[in-house]
Structure 1
Amino acid sequence: MGEADVRAVDVDRPRSPHVAARLPPGVRARRPWAPLLWALFSAGGTIAALLYPVHLLFTGLAFPQGWLALPGHDALLGLARHPLSRVYLFVLIAVPLFHWAHRFRYTLYDGLQLKHLARPIAALCYGAAVVGTVLAAYTIWRL
């Protein structure tokens, strides 16, 4: 039986690790997206909790109050063009977007009781996070 003959199905996953062995021939269990989405949610929350306060301390308080000397435009642009700074900026922007998407999705589900719109809400929330990630990557690449 070729790869094209195999179809994916949603399967209630019992606790047994041998669920795939009990499926009929030509049927495989569909891999769930939930673990990846929860991992992005967790990583986004951690990054937002650890990096945003430090970033905001410098850009929102220390530099405007004059506690630290404000670097010039050329110095900041040079810093932003460094590969590690680009990775930092990308992670600082992109990963918390998926945290937002997951949190907003479940706020709409549970808070507004819109569970009947599960797929469109998920597509809009995660789609917005993907678009934001692509825009962040494009913007950082163009620095």
Structure 2
Amino acid sequence: MTNSCEGFLDIIGLEQNTREKAKLMVLIENPSGEPNKEILFNIFDFIKKVYGTEKCTILWWDGQIKPSTKIISVEDIEFLQNLWSRIAGNYLVFLPVQFDVKQITQKDEEEFIGLSLITYSHLILKSPDAYEVLYLTMNK
């Protein structure tokens, strides 16, 4: 793991023994940070491979303490494209459809992401600058 990966795993609040089980992979590099449809279609292709369905739950923070959530599919690509642009500077997390926001009570975005990773063992994440889409996994 590179130092930047270890740093991100620290940011999301993973303890040392948990961090050792976590893997972070850059899924998509996006130098423009723009949500072009090709990138979004690639994310949905990966969602289908990882979650086994064309749908997922997305969550995002838009100046509020609790994240907003919505179940989306590839048919919602324009919604996702607009959301991505609107929440520039914030995380966008792609989780399995069965994600239950009430199950995780952390208020801090990064800790929420860490607990989601521990709970579901994998997630897809748009970085706040949107230059990368990351895939995080956890061996249990």
- TM-score range for the pair, normalised by the shorter chain length: under 0.3
Structure number with greater CO (CA < 8 Å, separation at least 6) is 2
- TM normalised by structure 1 equals 0.23
* Larger proportion of helix: 1
Q: Which has the larger radius of gyration?
A: 1
* Larger proportion of strand: 2
